[in-house]
């Protein structure tokens, strides 16, 4: 592992009109590391990923990826290094394009010639049988669609994957398969992940370090071990952890 961080964020600020959704956020992710971002809806966690992926161009601060400072509008070379997987596999695949079309498009954009071999390889990597190549999204299950979305991200052979709630639309059994796949791919290819999720157990399983966000601010950065030991420093992180442990009748019942 190199000492140079794969991703370095310094004082990132994002506003949508009046709403200031990300406030002075700074963190670094090392190369080969898996970094989690957790928080409730509206905490700005997805916005951070969209800014990193270059999908949101209205921000201020410093972003360096693989040691290179990033402009507001990213170049093609950037997109070969950084790819994103979205939350909803039902919404992120074009309903009228086959799996083959979805995987071929990034290759066409980047002018890569050996599309045939690359598509076959990407499908094999995510465990999709070759017979699925000319299927439409409606002919696939949720888990298979998410595999297509991961294959589409991998087909350019990036080094950084941004994962926005990759399993929250899936059943627990399918979630396990997709998480295992992501773990295996990371080990094989020395990928760097940023995983956004609201599920603390998923983040603890997948990541070495994580950041808790609230109202656009980074509240606390901790290791997965700290989380598993139930030892966060801040009250908010502690509260989030308690809330995720399920319903407690005693705590919830107001004495009469």
Partner 1 sequence: MRALTTPTEQPLLELDNLRVNFHTPTGIVRAVRGLSFTLGRERLGIVGESGSGKSMTGRAILDLIPYPGEVLADRLVYRGQDLLTMDKRTRRKLRGRHISMVMQDPKFSLNPVQTVGEQIAEAYRVHHKASVREARERSLVMLEAVQIREPGRVYELYPHEVSGGMGQRVMIAMMLIAEPDILIADEPTSALDVTVQLQILKILDDLVTERGMGLIFISHDLHLVQSFCDRVIVMYGGKAMETLPAAELADEAARSQRHPYTLGLLGCLPDLDHPKAKLATLTRDPAWLA
Question: Which spans of this chain sit near partner 1 (rule: CB under 8 A)?
Answer: 40-41, 142, 171-177, 179-180, 183, 198-202, 204-206, 224, 227-228, 230, 239-240, 243-249, 252-253
Minimum CB separation of residue 218 from partner 1 in Å reads: 18
Based on CB atoms, which residue is closest to partner 1, 120 or 142?
142
Based on CB atoms, which residue is closest to partner 1, 54 or 166?
166
What HEC string does the chain produce?
CCCCEEEEEEEEEEEECCEEEEEEEEEEEECCCEEEEECCCCCCHHHHHHHHHCCCCCEEEEEEECCEECCCCCCHHHHHHEEEECCCCCCCCCCCCCHHHHHHHHHHHCCCCCHHHHHHHHHHHCCCCHHHCCCCHHHCCHHHHHHHHHHHHHCCCCCEEEEECCCCCCCHHHHHHHHHHHHHHHHHHCCEEEEEECCHHHHHHHCCEEEEEECCEEEEEEEHHHHHCCCCCCHHHHHHHHHCCCCCHHHHCCCC
Minimum CB separation of residue 167 from partner 1 in Å reads: 10
Based on CB atoms, which residue is closest to partner 1, 22 or 169?
169
Based on CB atoms, which residue is closest to partner 1, 117 or 252?
252
Based on CB atoms, which residue is closest to partner 1, 82 or 224?
224
Based on CB atoms, which residue is closest to partner 1, 41 or 131?
41
Q: Are 198 and 204 in contact (CB under 8 A)?
A: no
Minimum CB separation of residue 252 from partner 1 in Å reads: 5
61 phi and psi angles, rounded to 5 deg: 120, -170
Q: Is 10 exposed, middle or buried (0-12, 13-18, 19+ CB in 10 A)?
A: middle
Based on CB atoms, which residue is closest to partner 1, 64 or 185?
185
């Amino acid at each position: 592992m190199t000492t140079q961080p794969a991703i370095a964020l310094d004082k990132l600020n994002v506003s949508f009109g009046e709403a200031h959704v990300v406030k002075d956020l700074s963190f670094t992710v090392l190369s080969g590391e898996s970094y989690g971002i957790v928080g409730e809806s509206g905490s700005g966690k997805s916005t951070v990923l969209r800014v990193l992926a270059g999908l949101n161009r209205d921000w201020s601060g410093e972003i360096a990826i693989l040691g290179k400072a990033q402009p507001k509008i990213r170049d093609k070379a950037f997109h070969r290094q950084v790819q994103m997987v979205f939350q909803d596999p039902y919404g992120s695949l074009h309903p009228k394009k086959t799996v083959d079309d979805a995987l071929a498009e990034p290759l066409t954009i980047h002018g890569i010639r050996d599309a045939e071999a690359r598509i076959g390889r990407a499908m094999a990597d995510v465990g999709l049988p070759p017979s699925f190549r000319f299927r439409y999204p409606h002919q696939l299950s949720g888990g298979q669609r998410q595999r297509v979305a991961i294959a589409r991200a991998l087909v350019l052979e990036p080094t950084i994957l941004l994962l926005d709630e990759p399993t929250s639309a899936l059943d627990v059994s399918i979630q396990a398969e997709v998480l295992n796949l992501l773990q295996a791919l990371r080990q094989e290819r020395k990928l760097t992940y940023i995983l956004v999720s609201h599920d603390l157990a998923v983040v603890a399983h997948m990541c070495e370090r994580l950041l808790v966000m609230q109202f656009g601010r980074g509240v606390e950065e901790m290791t997965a071990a700290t989380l598993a030991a139930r030892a966060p420093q801040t009250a908010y992180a502690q509260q989030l952890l308690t809330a995720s442990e399920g319903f407690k009748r005693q705590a919830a019942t107001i004495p009469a």
